[in-house]
Amino acid sequence: MTQVYDRVALIGLGLIASSMFWAMKRAGAAGEVTGFARSQETRDTARRIGLCDRVCDSAIEAVQDADLVVLCVPVGAMGAVAEEIAPYLKSGATVSDVGSVKKSVIEAVRPHLPEKVDFVGAHPMAGTEHSGPESGFATLFDNRWCLIVPDGAPEDATQKLEHFWHALGANCERMEVEHHDLVCAVVSHIPHLIAYTMVGVADDLSRVSDQEVIKYSAAGFRDFTRIAASDPTMWRDVFMTNKDATLEILGRFTEELFALQRAIRIGDGDELFDYFTRTRAIRRGIIEAGQDTEAPDFGRVKVHE
C-alpha cells in the first residue's frame, strides 16, 4: 500500500474519476476519497455502487480538507468549478485535472486559485467508449501514459502527483503546455473528429441504409465507431478549447487526403502502394511499445447474434 495523499476529492464522477477511485483503492493511494457530481442521479448511483468513501452534495463540501482536488469535469466546465471551490481549498493543497486539453484549462483555472494552492495539470491518456459513474474500473490506467503539465508548478507538488499516478498504474511523462495540446490533437482529437465524421457520413447516405452499415461494419467501419461513441459533451469541449492545434492538424489531414484522392482519380497505383506500405511500420511500433495487442481483430471475443 502506497498512501500518497491523506484526502483526495474527485469533482465529477464519470469514467475517469470512477476508474481513479477504484485504482486508488487497489493501491491504497489515498486515506479518504470524497466525490461530488452535479447531477443527483450520478450521486445516487455513486452511493449505491460504493464509488467514493463519501459522496458529497456540493463541490465545496467535497474539497474541504482535501490534499488533492482533481477536476474530472468536461474541459469547458473547469473554470466555473475552480471559481466555486477556490475559497474553500486547504492551504497547501494541490489542484489537478484530467482534461484532454491543457492551455485553456490552465487559463481557466489558475486565476481563481489562492496563493497557497498549486495547480498541476494532468492528462491520463486512457479511456473507453463508455461514460458515467458505472463505467470505471481499477485497471484502466495500467501501462497507459499520464501526461503531467506542471507549467511552472513547484517541483514537490509535481513529483507528488506523479507518484500518485504511478500508484494508479500509469507511466508519467512531463510535457510543455503547447506541445501537449499539439500531440493530443494528433493522437486523439483529430482521430476522434474523423471517426465522428465517418460515422456521420454513413448515417447520412440515403442510398446505403443504416441496416447495411451496421450489418457489414466488420469490414473496417466498426473500428471507427468505438471512438465515435465517446462522450459528446467532453468532445465538444475539447474542440472548442483546442481550436488552434485542431485546425492545424485538420489542415494537414485534408492536404494528405486530397493527395490520395488525386492518386485515385488519375490511377496512380504506385503512390497509393507506397503510402499504404509506410503506415504499416507505425502499427508495428505500437505493438512493440506494448500499446496494443497483436491478436487478430484485437483479440475480440467472438460475438453471436
**Residues 50, 25: Cα–Cα separation, whole Å:** 11
Site residue total, a copy of itself (CB under 8 A): 118
Residue type, 159: Q
The residue (of 5 and 239) whose beta carbon lies closer to a copy of itself is 239
Listed residue (155, 14, 42) closest to 94, CA to CA: 155
The residue (of 86 and 250) whose beta carbon lies closer to a copy of itself is 250
Give the shortest CB-216-to-a copy of itself separation in angstroms: 5
**Span 251-290, contacts to a copy of itself by CB under 8 A:** 252-254, 256-257, 260-261, 263-265, 267, 269, 272-273, 275-286, 289-290
**Residues 141, 118: Cα–Cα separation, whole Å:** 24
**Among 26-34, 41-49, 110-118, 236-244, the segment contacting a copy of itself (CB under 8 A):** 236-244
**Span 36-95, contacts to a copy of itself by CB under 8 A:** 76
Residue carrying C-alpha cell 489542415? 251
Residue 176, interface with a copy of itself (CB under 8 A)? no
The stretches of 110-218 forming alpha helices (DSSP H) are 155-167, 177-184, 190-204, 210-215
When binding is defined by CB under 8 A, the residue of 143, 152, 154, 176 that contacts a copy of itself is 143
Find out whether 108 and 135 touch, Cβ atoms under 8 Å. no
The residue (of 130 and 166) whose beta carbon lies closer to a copy of itself is 130
Backbone dihedral angles phi then psi of residue 114, each to the nearest 5 degrees: -65, 165
Listed residue (150, 146, 71) closest to 112, CA to CA: 71
**Among 39-47, 80-88, 151-159, 231-239, the segment contacting a copy of itself (CB under 8 A):** 231-239
